[in-house]
Amino acid sequence: MARLSFDDIDWRQGSIRLCGKGRREELLPLTQEIGDALLAYIERGRPALATPSVFITEYAPLRPIDRIAVKCMVKRALKRAGVESRYKGAHIQRHSAATAMLRHGVSLPGVSTVLRHRSQAMTAHYAKFDTALLAAIAQPWPGRSPC
């Protein structure tokens, strides 16, 4: 988010190019919901500043946001929402997204692709399984009565 530029958004193809660790580039789908939110921000919320960066600071000095600004925004939002978590920065969004995707039936390889992990073991670390959900769908062990 901090480094997203207008050149990274392909409106016609419906994709966003992201650069990750090791300058690795990934193309992710630009959903209708995200596209609509981006357009609303660009048209009504983005301060006027001649820069290729999509996201700009709200107050002077106007400049593209950096990763520290993202971390601070997430930290403030978590505090306002009363969210208690051992994760205090923007990284909590990756954990939350992974868990939400699993809850909605996305496979672990699918979650791994979205998070841009090379290893599914790393994705499993991010994706905390919902124990209550698993208990509701788990089959009893052969020869044992259900819990």
pLDDT tens by residue, 60-73: 889 999 988 888 88
pLDDT of residue 16: 93
Q: What pLDDT score was predicted for residue 137?
A: 56
Residue 77 forms part of a structural domain: no
Q: Are residues 1 and 33 in the same domain?
A: yes
Q: Is the predicted pLDDT of residue 133 greater than 60, yes or no? A: no
Q: Is residue 12 part of a domain?
A: yes
Burial 97-132 (b: 16+ CB within 10 A, else e): bbbebbeeebebeebbebbbbeeeeebbebbeeeee
User: Which region among 2-11, 114-123, 129-138 has the lowest average model confidence (pLDDT)?
Assistant: 129-138
Predicted pLDDT of residue 129:
59
Question: Quick one: 61 and 3 in the same domain?
Answer: yes
pTM strictly above 0.85: no
Residue 53 counted as domain residue: yes
Domain span including residue 98: 86-133
What's the structural domain count of the chain? 2
